[in-house]
Amino acid sequence: STREHVTVIGLGAMGSTMAEAFLAAGHPTTVWNRTAAKADPLVAKGATLAASPAEAVAAGELVVISLVDYAAMYDALGAADGALGGRVLVNLSSDTPEELRRASRWAAERGAELVTAGIMVPPPGIGKPGAYAFYSGPDGALERHRRTLEVLGGIEYTGGDPGLAMLYYQSMLLVFWTSLTSYIHAAALLRTAGVKGEALRPYIAAMFNDLAADGPMGFLRIVTDQVEAGEYPGGENNLHMQVVGVGHVVQALRDAGVDTTMPAALKELFVRAEAAGHGADGFTSVAEVIKKPEA
The C-alpha atoms of residue 1 and residue 105 are separated, in whole angstroms, by 34
Report which of 144, 147, 146, 136 is spatially closest to residue 114, judged by C-alpha positions. 136
| Span near ligand NDP by CB under 6 A; candidates 115-123, 156-164, 189-197, 279-287 | 115-123
| Span near ligand NDP by CB under 6 A; candidates 67-75, 233-241, 249-257, 267-275 | 67-75
CA 114 to chain centre: 18
The mark string for 37-66 relative to ligand NDP (x by CB under 6 A, - otherwise) is -x---------------------------x
Quick one: CA dihedral 185, 189, 192, 193, positive or negative?
Answer: negative
- Does position 122 interact with ligand NDP (CB under 6 A)? The reply is yes
Q: Any idea of the CA torsion for 269, 220, 225, 165, to the nearest 10 degrees?
A: 90
Cβ pair 281, 287 in contact under 8 A: no
Q: Which of 119, 131, 164, 167 binds ligand NDP (CB under 6 A)?
A: 119
- Does position 77 interact with ligand NDP (CB under 6 A)? The reply is no
User: Which residue, judged by CB position, is nearest to ligand NDP in the bound state?
Assistant: 12
Q: Which of 6, 7, 8, 10 binds ligand NDP (CB under 6 A)?
A: 10
Output 53 or 263, the one with its CB closest to ligand NDP.
Answer: 53
Output 119 or 246, the one with its CB closest to ligand NDP.
Answer: 119
- Does position 67 interact with ligand NDP (CB under 6 A)? The reply is yes
Residues facing residue 6 across a β-bridge: 29, 62
Q: Which of 6, 14, 89, 141 binds ligand NDP (CB under 6 A)?
A: 14
- Does position 72 interact with ligand NDP (CB under 6 A)? The reply is yes
Q: What do you get for the CA distance between the two ends of the chain, in Å?
A: 59
- Does position 285 interact with ligand NDP (CB under 6 A)? The reply is no
Output 132 or 219, the one with its CB closest to ligand NDP.
Answer: 132
Strand order in the sheet with 62-65: 48-49, 29-32, 6-9, 62-65, 88-91, 113-119, 132-136, 154-157
Q: Which of 3, 5, 34, 185 binds ligand NDP (CB under 6 A)?
A: 34
Cβ pair 73, 84 in contact under 8 A: no
Q: Where are the beta strands (DSSP E) in the chain?
A: 6-9, 29-32, 48-49, 62-65, 88-91, 113-119, 132-136, 154-157
Binding site for ligand NDP (CB under 6 A): 10-15, 33-35, 38, 66-69, 72, 75-76, 93-94, 119, 122-123
